[in-house]
Amino acid sequence: MMRKKIIAGNWKMNKTPKEATEFCKLMKDKVASSEVDVVFCVPFVDLYPALEELKGAGIGVGAENMHFEDSGAYTGEISPLMLKEMGVSYVVLGHSERRQYFNETNDMVNKKVKKALEVGITPIMCCGETLEQREAGITIEWIRIQIKCGLAGLTAEEVSKVVIAYEPIWAIGTGKTATSEQAQEVCKAVRQVVGEVYGETTAQQVRIQYGGSVNGKNAAELFAMPDIDGGLVGGASLKEEFQEIVHYQK
Ligand code: 13P
């Protein structure tokens, strides 16, 4: 089973709409690739400029969050239907920063993943352990729970379309990348739990990214691991360096 690699930038709360347009203009040819799927996940107000600038460039545009209802009295939230109509094709769900600062739970993440699939947006569902959990030796158990809860109630066919991002919290924004062995161990465990619940075919189809201080220098080694199907990139996706990650094979 050859899974196409998927390399996604997560801009987090960076770049104004003007800066988004400029950056997309600068980068679109540099990150064009037929070998890997390339995605820019951007703040809500940058979606329109990014979609406009990246038209026809073969680069996917994603949101960084969304609500799980179609519409309603949810002041300040963004609906999946709004994203879909704009042409957004991916959405990051359950990022550790959302779990940590905005109290997102596995249950909410599960509702969002279901909804994204229902409207036809590819969810990039995040999981990851804290340093404390790693040191306590409970990383794999914790990740298994996040995956089982996040994907609960989906069909095997739906799960095969989900992108899962393993992002150890201690490696995010710290410059402290997980070793490729550490990242592989957990990504393999993610594939294994998907296989236990949804079957081996689904497990072989689902794409699993690594995230956490991925840069132009370490991408090739990480992405060469058998269960790592690309990366979710924060800091380095804001800079021209992102092209080195996309073209990690060169
Ligand atoms: P950094 O690449 O800045 O460590 O961020 C990783 C991340 O959280 C991507 O979602």
Do residues 237 and 220 touch, judged by C-beta distance below 8 A? no
How far lies 221's CA from each of 30, 80, 183, 186, 193, in Å?
21, 35, 11, 16, 24
Q: Which structural domain range is residue 194 located in? A: 6-246
Tens-place pLDDT, residues 136-147: 999 999 999 999
DSSP assignments along 197-239, one per residue: HH-HHHHHHSEEEEESS--TTTHHHHHTSTT--EEEESGGGGS
Q: What is the pLDDT averaged over residues 38-47? A: 98
- Ligand 1 centre and the CA of 120: distance in Å? 25
Residues with CB under 6 A from ligand 1: 10, 95, 167, 172-173, 211-214, 232-236
Average pLDDT score over the chain: 97
Ligand 1 probe mutation, 6, 7, 10, most atoms within 8 A of CB: 10
For the cut 90, the answer to whether the pLDDT of residue 2 exceeds it is no
Domain count, the chain: 1
Q: Which residue type does 81 have? A: L
For the cut 90, the answer to whether the pLDDT of residue 109 exceeds it is yes
Would you say residue 53 lies in a domain? Answer: yes
Q: For residue 1, name the pLDDT band (cuts at 50, 70, 90).
A: low
- Ligand 1 centre and the CA of 228: distance in Å? 16
Tens-place pLDDT, residues 184-205: 999 999 999 999 999 999 999 9
Which CATH number does the domain housing residue 223 bear? 3.20.20.70
Do residues 133 and 117 touch, judged by C-beta distance below 8 A? no
Calculate what percentage of the chain has a pLDDT beyond 90: 97
Q: What is the pLDDT averaged over residues 220-248? A: 98
- Ligand 1 centre and the CA of 232: distance in Å? 7
Would you say residue 13 lies in a domain? Answer: yes
Q: What is the pLDDT averaged over residues 147-171? A: 98
Q: What is the pLDDT averaged over residues 31-60? A: 97
* 247 closest CA partner among 224, 220, 222: 220
Buried b (16+ CB within 10 A) or exposed e, 80-119: bebbbeeebbbbbbbbbbbbeeeebebebbbbbbbbbbeb
The confidence score (pLDDT) of residue 175 equals 86
The token pair that represents 17 in the structure block:
């709409």
* 63 closest CA partner among 95, 38, 102, 90: 90
Q: What is the pLDDT averaged over residues 21-47? A: 97
Would you say residue 79 lies in a domain? Answer: yes
Q: For residue 250, name the pLDDT band (cuts at 50, 70, 90).
A: confident
Would you say residue 104 lies in a domain? Answer: yes
**What is the CB neighbour count within 10 angstroms for residue 55?**
12
Beta bridge partners of 123: 91
Q: For residue 119, name the pLDDT band (cuts at 50, 70, 90).
A: very high
Would you say residue 32 lies in a domain? Answer: yes
Q: What is the pLDDT averaged over residues 15-19? A: 98
The whole-angstrom separation of Cα 216 and Cα 218 is 6
Would you say residue 1 lies in a domain? Answer: no
Catalytic residue among 64, 95, 104, 158: 95
**What is the CB neighbour count within 10 angstroms for residue 200?**
13
Annotated catalytic residue 167: yes
